[in-house]
Amino acid sequence: MDKQWKNKVQDILHICQEELKKTTEIGKKMLSASTTNSDLHTAYEELGQIMKNKIEANEIEVDDPKIHEMINLIREKEETLEEIEQEVRKIKISTGVKDISKDE
């Protein structure tokens, strides 16, 4: 009876070990997929920036209104980000916080 119990425990441990190996392998693949997806996103972004710059510099002529719509949206968002950045700079250099511990 003791030997049967020992064999069952060993079987369970073996199954757990195999499942752990599978899970580790899946984790590695998922990490690799995440890195590849990030690289792909970066490549698309860089391609988009190159094309946008070439279209704006009239190096490439594009008749697709959707592309021009997207370029205008990009300009608007860039301007909005610049405005936000300027506001943050103003907040950083403002002396609006008064140290009340020195008022005596």
Co-location of 13 and 57 in the same domain: yes
Say whether both 23 and 51 belong to one domain. yes
Q: How confident is the model at residue 60 (pLDDT cuts 50, 70, 90)?
A: very high
Please tell me the total count of domains within the chain: 2
User: Are residues 47 and 10 part of one domain?
Assistant: yes
Please check whether residue 26 lies inside any domain of the structure.
Answer: yes
Judgement on whether residues 41 and 70 belong to the same structural domain of the protein: no
Statement to judge: residues 1 and 51 lie in one domain? yes
DSSP 79: H
What would you measure as the largest C-alpha separation in the chain, in angstroms? 85
For residue range 20-58, list pLDDT tens digits in order. 999 999 999 999 999 999 999 999 999 999 999 999 999
Q: Is residue 86 part of a domain?
A: yes
Range of the domain at 87: 63-92
Annotate 16-69 with DSSP letters as a single string.
HHHHHHHHHHHHHHHHHHHHHHHHHHHHHHHHHHHHHHHHHTTSS----HHHHH
CA 45 to chain centre: 12
For the chain, what's the residue count?
Answer: 104
